[in-house]
């Protein structure tokens, strides 16, 4: 079974979050999961968003000890671990309250399409400058 996962990553954690994605993903390209921070919170903090399909085991894998995958033996485990420590996973099936976005945490919403997850995160696109 696959689940839709939408993850908000603060601008300052993008490099670390990409190392985390590399460690829990399936290919070297996962090191590019988070691109530019083109979303912002009401307080002006910038975020990168990723929306992807993952197996139902994602919450378990995301919380497991990290190792460099065979396809990326040079993965930075220290950076990946920092992102893992900042990760908060939420599901609409959870009894937990929805976590607030902030510059020190990655928020993963499991089981909702991105169009429903983004409003929960309170993020809006950064206006494109001419």
pLDDT tens for 77-113 read 999 999 999 999 999 988 889 999 999 999 999 999 9
For residue 55, being part of any structural domain is answered with yes
How many structural domains does the chain have? 1
For residue 130, being part of any structural domain is answered with no
User: Which pTM was predicted?
Assistant: 0.92
For residue 16, being part of any structural domain is answered with yes
For residue 47, being part of any structural domain is answered with yes
Check residue 83 and give its pLDDT: 98
Does the pLDDT at position 12 exceed 80?
yes
Among 8-17, 47-56, 75-84, whose mean pLDDT is lowest? 47-56
For residue 22, being part of any structural domain is answered with yes
Does the pLDDT at position 129 exceed 80?
no
For residue 86, being part of any structural domain is answered with yes
Query: What's the rounded Cα separation, in Å, for the pair 59 and 116?
Result: 20
Please state the φ and ψ torsions of residue 34, each to the nearest 5 degrees: -105, 120
Does the pLDDT at position 130 exceed 70?
no
For residue 34, being part of any structural domain is answered with yes
Range of the domain at 96: 2-125
**46-55 β-sheet, strand order:** 87-90, 106-110, 2-10, 46-55, 39-40, 124-125
**How many Cα atoms are found within 13 Å in the side-chain-facing hemisphere of 35?**
4
For residue 80, being part of any structural domain is answered with yes
The rounded mean pLDDT for the chain is 94
Q: What percent of the chain is modeled with pLDDT above 90?
A: 85
**CA dist 6 → 109, 119, 129 (Å):** 5, 11, 26
């Amino acid at each position: 079974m696959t689940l839709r996962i939408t993850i908000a990553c603060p601008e300052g954690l993008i490099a670390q979050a990409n190392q985390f994605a590399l460690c829990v993903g399936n290919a070297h390209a996962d090191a590019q999961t988070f691109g530019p921070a083109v979303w912002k919170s009401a307080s002006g903090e910038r975020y990168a968003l990723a929306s992807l399909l993952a197996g139902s085991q994602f919450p378990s894998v995301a919380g497991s000890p990290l190792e460099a995958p065979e396809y990326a033996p040079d993965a930075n485990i220290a950076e990946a671990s920092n992102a893992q420590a900042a990760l908060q996973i939420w599901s609409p099936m959870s009894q937990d309250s929805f976590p607030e976005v902030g510059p020190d945490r990655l928020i993963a919403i499991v089981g909702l399409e991105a169009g429903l997850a983004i409003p929960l995160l309170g993020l809006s696109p950064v206006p494109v400058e001419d």
